[in-house]
Each structure stands twice: as structure tokens, then as C-alpha cells.
Amino acid sequence: MKKTIGLSILLLISGCGVLDNVLEQASEAEPVNEPEQEVESSNQTEEVQGNTEANINAELETYKEISSSEEERIHNNEVEAANNNETNESEVLEKEESAEQTESSAAISVGNSGGNLAQGGRVEVQNDTVYISNLINDTFGIYELPLEGTENPQLLVEGDVSHLHATDDKLYYIEQDIETFKGGAVKAYSFETGETETIMEGQVEHLQMARGLLWFPGPHGGEGGVLSNYTYDIHTEELTDLNDHSVKYTITDDYHIVQIESFIIHDHASLEEEGAILADDVSGETFIDGDNFYYASWNGLKQINLLTEETTLLVEDEIETFNVKGDDIYYVPVTDTMMEREMYHISSQGEAQQTEEPWSEIYLFEDFMIPIFTGQNVIDYQLEDYNTGENSSLYFESPETH
């Protein structure tokens, strides 16, 4: 009876490595169905049974110890795995939140507008701070000053720069080559550290920002000669050569327009794909405002509605420079001399009127505009509120102020 109980216990612990040894010992100690074998006295049988039970009990205790140790190890592994899962889940959540933030920030338009870039992009506004690029106090550079215009401009970066794009942490721009008077590098200035990094050197131009990316033509393969279009991810800092040559992009969060010489192609992602030709008479700057594409043609300023693809001739004069924000259009016709230079404004009523001041450039933002006059040793930056019409001085410099 005791032997039966012992073997039953062994059957319950089958699958353990210890079981083989126990069964082997039990088999050696308890021969079954061998009639030729003589059985000694009942005392010897009981002694064998006792030895067998002792062995079984010893092995069982050993198994219990191993099992307890194994259970503890498994428990510890499960706890560690649970902790790792929590850590991994936390990391996954963090990555997902970061991706969502990146996607969200990429979907929000930041940087300068296309119309401001058509002026040269030398004025940008971010977080109630104005960034200007000009010759201030006899030094070319990027300067910052508060939107209220109550302090003198502070020099951030020396050099002749254009195409300013501001984010919360950096200011991106093109540094001009003083020998060729063309873009010589795309750079980024850190507001936190005050340091400048170079994104690409060589002939670069037409720096735009949309969809969380910088877009610009630059040397193909990073070398001189043929230009190719590049993107630079402002979040991951990844620079990508798009291998599109001899084309100019006009990019917003919603539209992708390509210019090939004088032709404009709608939603043309690469030269291998077909797109609708919208115009064939481009001669100057191009940009998008809302759902409208504006460009200077050989016979005037034109507008293309990108929803209907209808073209409207806005101004019949040959255009030197222009800017658009909503229903307001500002432009300067080509003149023979600088003394004849005048700026005009077309409002929602559609009538062109000369501006009160002979502004050289005008930068348009969400709630205000910054007109600029430069000439005759005078630099004048003004701030005009759209809603109130109030006008104030941002910065003024003349020979008398030095």
C-alpha cells in the first residue's frame, strides 16, 4: 500500500527531470512478473519497500527543493518581464506621443509665408519677436527686436542673409555668398545656445518651410554644378536628396506646385509623374496664398485658383515685386529709375491705389504688416495693425541717428 502511494506521487510529478531517476530506482528495486525469481522473507521485502520509499521520499524532497527554486525563478522572471513590459509600454506610449506631436507640428504651418519670401524673406516674426536681416549700424546681420519696438535691435548672426524661417527653438536662413551674391549655405541658429550649424553649403536658393520640412534646391550630391531639390526634416535633422533637377518647388501644407522654366505644373511630385499644366508664361516670383497660386508673367500679375484651375489677370503692368495676404495685394511695377518706384495696393474692392509711403518692401503677417523703406541712407521699419489701422515705428535709422 505504501509503495502504491509513493508511485502515485511520482506519477503526479511526471515531466520533471528528477522523475527518470526515481522511476529507474523503483524499477530496479521492484521487479514485476518474474516468476523464476525467488522472493526472500517478508522482512527482506519490507526492507526493500522501506528503502524504496526512503529513496522516493528523498527524491521527492529534492524535487520539492528544485521545484520551489524553479517556481521562485519563474516568479522572478515573471516580475522582471512585467516590469519590462511596463517599461516597454511606457516607451511605446512616449514614442507614439512623440510621433503624434511631430505629426501635429508638421501639419501646422510654421516659418515664413511664400509672399514674404518673394520679397527676399528678410523679415520674420515668432513669439512677439521680430527678426530682420539688414545693414544695421554698419553691420550686415540678423537682428532681433521686440514687436513693440521699444528696444534697439540685438545682433544674433553676422552676414548677409535671406529667407528667414523661425520656429520655437531655431532660426533657419540662407547665408549669401558675398562674392557671387547668391545663396552660399543653408544654416540654423539655435535660440537656446546661440550657436550656428550648417545644413548644406554651396549654391542654395528659395528656402521654404512646410510639412515640418525645409525645401530648397542645392548642389546635387553636395557638389557644384547641377542643382537638385532637397528636404531637411527639422525634427529628425535628416537631409534627403529628391533627385529632381532643373525644377523649382512651391510648397504649402496643402499644395505642391512645380515650375520647369516658364511652365507651372499642379501637384507634380516628381518628374516621373504627370501633372496638369496650369501656365506657360512665368517670368518672376511665384507663391501660394490659401487656395490661390500667384505669379509674375510677361504681361502682368496673375492668379490661379487651385480648386478650379481658373486664371485671372490682376495687374497688366510688368511686376518687379509683390506680396499677397487674403484679399490684399501689394505690388511694385517695373520702373526705369529708383526715383520713379511706387507701391500699389489692391483691396477686396479690386481697385489699385498707390500707398501713402513709397515703401521698398512690405511683409504681411496674420494680424499686422511690416512695411520697409530703405534708401537715401535711411532705414525705416513700421508696424501697422490690420484691425485698428494703428501705425508705430519698429526701427528707424538715418545719418542723424548715428
Whether residue 175 contacts residue 161, with contact meaning beta carbons closer than 8 Å, is answered with yes
C-alpha cell, 91: 516607451
Please identify, among 191, 213, 246, the residue that sits at the C-terminal boundary of a domain. Answer: 246
- Residue at 345 is within a domain: no
Residues 193 and 215 in one domain: yes
Q: d(Cα 27, Cα 22) in Å, to the nearest integer? A: 9
- Residue at 36 is within a domain: no
The answer for residues whose C-beta is within 8 angstroms of residue 215's C-beta and 6 or more apart is 207, 208, 209, 229, 230, 231, 249, 251
* Tens digit of each residue's pLDDT (9 = 90 or more) over 281-339: 999 999 999 999 999 999 899 999 999 989 999 999 999 999 999 999 999 999 888 78
The answer for residues whose C-beta is within 8 angstroms of residue 72's C-beta and 6 or more apart is none
Helices (H), 230-318: none
Counting Cα atoms < 13 Å in the Cβ hemisphere of 224 gives 2
Torsion of CA 216, 145, 135, 380, to 10 degrees: 110
Q: d(Cα 3, Cα 158) in Å, to the nearest integer? A: 97
- Residue at 167 is within a domain: yes
Whether residue 114 contacts residue 288, with contact meaning beta carbons closer than 8 Å, is answered with yes
Q: d(Cα 376, Cα 395) in Å, to the nearest integer? A: 16
- Residue at 7 is within a domain: yes
- Residue at 156 is within a domain: yes
Domain range holding 221?
111-246
Residues 132 and 59 in one domain: no
Counting Cα atoms < 13 Å in the Cβ hemisphere of 24 gives 6
Per-residue model confidence (pLDDT) at position 216? 94
Say whether pLDDT at 104 is over 70.
no
* Span of 93-102, 119-128, 146-155, 389-398 with lowest mean pLDDT: 93-102
Highest averaged pLDDT of the listed ranges 9-23, 159-173, 329-343: 159-173
Please identify, among 106, 133, 153, the residue that sits at the C-terminal boundary of a domain. Answer: 106
Residues 204 and 142 in one domain: yes
Per-residue model confidence (pLDDT) at position 151? 78
State the total domains in the chain.
Answer: 2
- Residue at 297 is within a domain: no
Model pTM score: 0.71
Whether residue 382 contacts residue 370, with contact meaning beta carbons closer than 8 Å, is answered with yes
* Tens digit of each residue's pLDDT (9 = 90 or more) over 226-257: 789 999 999 999 999 998 876 888 999 989 89
Q: d(Cα 27, Cα 3) in Å, to the nearest integer? A: 12
